[in-house]
Structure 1
């Protein structure tokens, strides 16, 4: 009998045991001038110019917002070079030669708790905008836009579910820096006037719950609690996390703020803490190399670090003669890339290296596994057929834009059809 697939192996047990390497020795840092949300960009420095940590060196431009680019080391601007981004596209990158002094730019200033208590919503919005904060769970959506809501918000949800296999960035953050997460959550609550904060984690992570609840003993003046939610996939999808942690049902396509709640990834809230307290942009990210095709290693490294260099430090490829499949992000929602010539960015948390197994697609057997397992209740095979027929009107009727690209349809397909790719193609056709 065909049933809905909800439980998938997460492959995290061994990754969480890896010793963390704090890598600060990158000789060159690379800063993409554009990204998926910002197709245009420009620099504001010249070759030979000395820059400092936290200094603005350029601006990315999206459809309705701009995003400053910050140096994460001090050193000399030495040129431009094309590198691959997480979508597999080549983008132009500004290069800074690291002088290893890590001199801090004058704009980085510590705010006192008294000054922070006086900040208004407009102040928080301006801070998040100037420091270039974005959703670090993978969305890359500007944080300041979420904070600029006019709706009445009762709850800030810190999403620490991290349900996708082989990703441990949020886990590392919550274990190592629970206080920074909690302070960032408090700042978000202050910004929008929310009275309650909820941190959502998987039920099985009892060690995280104990860590967070111990840290919360120092913040009893605030209504903040830890909510243990399901271990299934895709529990981390924001609407599913909201429903499980609070009971609030937000229809797909609606703004969560209109229902009294705003979700943030836990790493995003940590970045808000750094921005508000120290006026710092995001400088570092947790990053893990996993898979059977490379030596597995867990890092904390500066934004702009070459992932190729991290791969070398880890120990390189296992059996280099075997072709590799490279996936940036998780195995369910990540992107396959043609090269390891990649850059660590705000939304890059993982590189999966697999010894390639070539699987040929078989014809659809009409088992409906993809339909049963789809969390947004669309019909992947029908959408695939509409894509092949270039039928845009049928794609609209089939609501392809509801797809959250969770990857479950591809995962459960016995014919090994890459259905999620067809979902992405369909959405691109409508755009």
Structure 2
């Protein structure tokens, strides 16, 4: 009998045991001038100019917002070069030659607790905007826009579920810096006037639940609780995490803020703490290299670090005679990239390298596994057929835009059909 697939192997236990390498020695750092949310951008420095850590060196421009680009090392601006970003797009990057001194820019000034206590909502919004904070769970949505809501907010949700296989960035953050997460959560609560905070993590991680609860003992004056949620996939999906952790059901297509709750990724909240307390932009991210085609290693690196450097530090590829498949992100929702000439960005936390197995697609056997497993009740095969026919009206009828691109339809398909790719194509057809 065909049933809904909810539990998938995640491969995290082995990766969590890897020693963490704090890599600061990249000789050159590369900063994309554009990204998926910001198709335009410009620089505000010239070749030969010396820049410092945290200094604004350019601006990315989206449809309704702008995002500053910050240097994550000190050194000399030496040029531009085309590189791949986390989405697999080739983008123009500004290059800074690292002088290994890590001199802080004059704008990086710590705030006292008394000064923070006096901050208004407008202050928090401006701090998040100037620091260029975005959703670090992968959305890259500007944090300041979320904080600037006009709705009455009752709960701030810190989403630490991280349900995608092979990803351990949020887990490592919460284990290493639980107090920074908690303080960032408190700042978010103060910014929007929310009386309650909730931290959602997988219930299988008993050690993480206990560590967070122990850390919360120092903040008993705040109404914050750790809520263990399900271990299934995609439990980390925003709307499912909200319902599991708070019992608030937000219909798909509606804003959580309209229901009195704002969700943030836990890494985003840590970045808010750094911005408020030290006036720092996001400088570093956890990054793991995994898969059977490469030596596995876990890093903490400066944003702008070439991933080729990390592969070399990890020990290189395994068996060069076998072709490799490279995936930026997780195996379910990540992006396939054509080579390793990639740089780390705000939302890049993983590279998976697999020894390629060439699997031919077989015809659909109409088993309905994809239908049973879809968390938003779509009909993936029907959508695939509509994509092949380029039938816009049928794609609208089938509500392809509801797809959250979780990858389950491709994962469960016994015919090895890349259904998630068809979902993405369907969305592009409707946008075109």
Which residue is 2:95 aligned to?
Answer: 95
- Cα separation, 1, equivalents of 2:86 and 2:360: 25
Which residue is 1:426 aligned to?
Answer: 426
Alignment of 1:159 onto 2:139 = no
- Cα separation, 2, equivalents of 1:166 and 1:416: 21
Map 1:5-404 to 2 at 5 A: 5-404=5-404
5+ residue gaps in structure 1? none
Secondary structure of the corresponding residue to residue 158 of structure 1: strand
- Cα separation, 2, equivalents of 1:257 and 1:113: 28
Structure 1 position 274, deviation (Å): 0.2
Secondary structure of the corresponding residue to residue 182 of structure 2: helix
Matched residue count: 431
Residues 121-178 of structure 1 show CA distances to partners (whole Å, capped at 9, x for unaligned) of 1111110000000000011110001000000000000000000000000000000000
Secondary structure of the corresponding residue to residue 218 of structure 2: coil
Structure 1 runs (4+) deviating above 2 angstroms are: none
- Cα separation, 1, equivalents of 2:109 and 2:403: 42
Query: Aligned Cα RMSD in Å?
Result: 0.4
- Cα separation, 2, equivalents of 1:66 and 1:365: 48
5+ residue gaps in structure 2? none
Secondary structure of the corresponding residue to residue 218 of structure 1: helix
Structure 1 position 89, deviation (Å): 1.4
Secondary structure of the corresponding residue to residue 41 of structure 1: strand
Structure 1 position 414, deviation (Å): 0.4
Which residue is 1:2 aligned to?
Answer: 2
Residues 37-58 of structure 1 show CA distances to partners (whole Å, capped at 9, x for unaligned) of 1111000000000000000000
Structure 1 position 284, deviation (Å): 0.1
TM-score normalised by length of structure 1: 1.00
TM-score normalised by length of structure 2: 0.99
- Cα separation, 1, equivalents of 2:84 and 2:197: 38
Structure 1 position 386, deviation (Å): 0.5
